[in-house]
Amino acid sequence: SIAVESPAKSKAGVASHRCIVTGPAAKLVGEHRLTLTVTAEHAGMSYSVQLTNLVLRGIEPLAIRATAAGAFAPGAAQKIKITVTRFGDAADAQPISLRVKNLPPGISAPESASIDAAKDTAEIEIKADETAKPGVRPGLVFVATTAVKGEKVSVESEPVAVSVKGK
């Protein structure tokens, strides 16, 4: 559904209105085509304009990026920097819980971490076991989960490669 907010009191020359598109969160993400018809009255005459085939792209209200510092040795630890971007009203920001997915053999990480509602970064320490074999391990994914307007939202980072160097 679309709600249109008009200025409380129109002034001459004011033609600014705000349209709010609402719907079920599960159906908003993706690409949607719509037709917008605008009708106005001026000097006793009605005017109508129709914009067809408009594309509305609904996005997740949260994005996550993970950055590894570089190669590290068996038995050593490395901090992965997690950066989140919230899209929406900052006043509604909620804490974000983080977890690691696709943890490769020989690499360990805490089961969970969090980012406070007022922050947008965190560091998660990963560790290579003493017996970890040297090499690149692709596919480490970080999952961020929060609530947006009462709805649970989970997003995943692009896969991150971690590299264990030889002794």
User: Angle at CA 119, nearest 5°, toward 115 and 124?
Assistant: 40
pTM of the model: 0.71
Q: How far apart are CA 1 and CA 52, in angstroms?
A: 17
Which tens digits make up the pLDDT trace of 118-152? 999 999 999 999 988 899 988 899 999 999 888 88
- What pLDDT does 91 receive? 77
SS (H, E, C) 110-162: CCCEEECCCCCEEEEEEEECCCCCCEEEEEEEEEEEEEECCEEEEEECCCEEE
Tell me the pLDDT band of 92, cut-offs 50, 70 and 90: confident
> Is residue 2 within 8 Å of 21, Cβ to Cβ?
yes
58 phi and psi angles, rounded to 5 deg = -85, 130
Joined together, the tokens standing for residue 37 give 């018809």
List all residues 6 or more positions away from 6 whose beta carbon is below 8 Å from its beta carbon.
Answer: 17
> Is residue 121 within 8 Å of 132, Cβ to Cβ?
no
Which tens digits make up the pLDDT trace of 67-91? 998 899 999 999 999 999 998 777 7
